[in-house]
Amino acid sequence: MANVDAAGPILWSAEGETVDGETVNVYIGKCQSRFEINKAFLLDKVPFFRTMFKRFGPRVIGRKAIYPNGDPESFGILLNWLHTHRLPALAAKFEKGDGEVEYFGYQPDKLYYLVAKFQLFNLANHIMDCLKPCHHYLYVGFSKEQIMSIYSQDINEGVPFYGLRKFVSMWLLHEWNNPRFEHNSTTKAEYESLLEIPEILEDLSRLDSGLERRCPWHLLTCSLHKHDENNRCAQRMYTFETVESSHGEISVHTRLR
């Protein structure tokens, strides 16, 4: 994978291609897919890396970073967003009997993991703005497999409760409190097995006693967002252009403000 700025040099590449200027190697996934990225570009766009390089200085081993839990395809989408401030449309589909929602455009949990890891909270908030209407329209939550995958990534672990884990917790509690809900994604046995995971049990207990415990979709826009120390949302960079829906499918398109 490579991306070329029409007015400038290659900013990043897959293995085997060249990148102009001083570079940084980022290895993503269990197979350590290598992305060679222009260092000035990366440090300018992602303060997380700027802090990391400042902390460790020139002795960072070969100027590389390794994220074995990351998804290479999602990292490529993230790099493209850093360059263009655009994401693919998020589409979702659910057919009764499939057991879980199927996503197209990007995998929100995998992209969210990287975005939260790199502290790009405006993009994290935007992903939730796209994911929320998908599940609202399809009227279905998350399967046990999806929940286990999300929690295995340690998404926003050890920080204030927000975003994807909060949304998953709300759906899980809603389905438990409404056993006759038409599209329950978890069975009673699956729910009880999930409660054996301390992080899930803790998140369920953190939900407010009011609306958050009743309806995962009747939420204020910023209720799933990461806020700063003054309880303000990170700057919203997008507006919704279209939300297209048909039977069992939805596609959310956005544009830059």
pLDDT tens string 166-218: 888 888 888 877 766 556 667 778 888 888 888 888 888 877 655 555 666 66
Q: Model-level pTM?
A: 0.81
* Residues whose CB falls within 8 Å of the CB of residue 46, separated by 6 or more in sequence, listed in order: 82, 118, 120
b/e string for 163-198 if b means 16 or more Cβ within 10 A?
A: bbbbbbbbbbbbbbeeeeeeebbbeeebbeebeeee
Residues 72 and 173 in one domain: no
Domain end point (choices 84, 111, 129): 84
Residues 232 and 141 in one domain: yes
Residue 135 pLDDT more than 90?
no
Q: What angle do CA 120, 249, 105 make, to 5 degrees?
A: 35
Residues 130 and 229 in one domain: yes
pLDDT score of 5 = 37
Closest CA to 108 of 83, 142, 59: 142
Residues 107 and 179 in one domain: yes
* Residues whose CB falls within 8 Å of the CB of residue 38, separated by 6 or more in sequence, listed in order: 9, 10, 11, 12, 19, 20, 21, 22, 23, 24
Domain end point (choices 40, 61, 84): 84
Q: Which domain holds residue 59?
A: 2-84
Radius of gyration, CA atoms only, the chain: 19
Domain end point (choices 55, 84, 113): 84
Residues 57 and 106 in one domain: no
Residues 232 and 112 in one domain: yes
Q: How many independent structural domains does the chain possess?
A: 2
